[in-house]
Amino acid sequence: GAGVSQTPSNKVTEKGKYVELRCDPISGHTALYWYRQSLGQGPEFLIYFQGTGAADDSGLPNDRFFAVRPEGSVSTLKIQRTERGDSAVYLCASSLKGNHEQYFGPGTRLTVT
């Protein structure tokens, strides 16, 4: 069946601009996670959704980052006033209910110039 998909695969934006990154989880998966991999680092947890609500957003680095999942399926990660330090690969994962066995998408590579 279809896996987790993410769009766009690559995004180049200028410093100060707003970006949205989209994640389509596996159908039927109620839990959704966002991670970020900066250069030279492992992926780091950003936020966990159970259904429509953010169950844990403790990994969001600051208030420029926000994520939504209004219908409990597709999620959008929104970054305001992008900075060069936001350049990273943003990974989305989903799982049946809440589960540490997570299925990952291919990521969106964000470059802020």
Partner 1 sequence: ILNVEQSPQSLHVQEGDSTNFTCSFPSSNFYALHWYRWETAKSPEALFVMTLNGDEKKKGRISATLNTKEGYSYLYIKGSQPEDSATYLCALYSGGSNYKLTFGKGTLLTVNP
Which one among 24, 79, 105, 112 touches partner 1, defined by CB under 8 A? 105
Q: Does 11 bind partner 1 (CB under 8 A)?
A: no
Q: Does 25 bind partner 1 (CB under 8 A)?
A: no
Could you tell me how many residues of this chain bind partner 1 (CB under 8 A)?
29
Residue type for position 107? G
Distance between CA 69 and CA 71 in Å, rounded?
6
**Cα–Cα nearest to 5, from 88, 78, 64, 91:** 91
Q: Does 53 bind partner 1 (CB under 8 A)?
A: no
Q: Does 27 bind partner 1 (CB under 8 A)?
A: no
Distance between CA 38 and CA 1 in Å, rounded?
30
Q: Does 31 bind partner 1 (CB under 8 A)?
A: yes
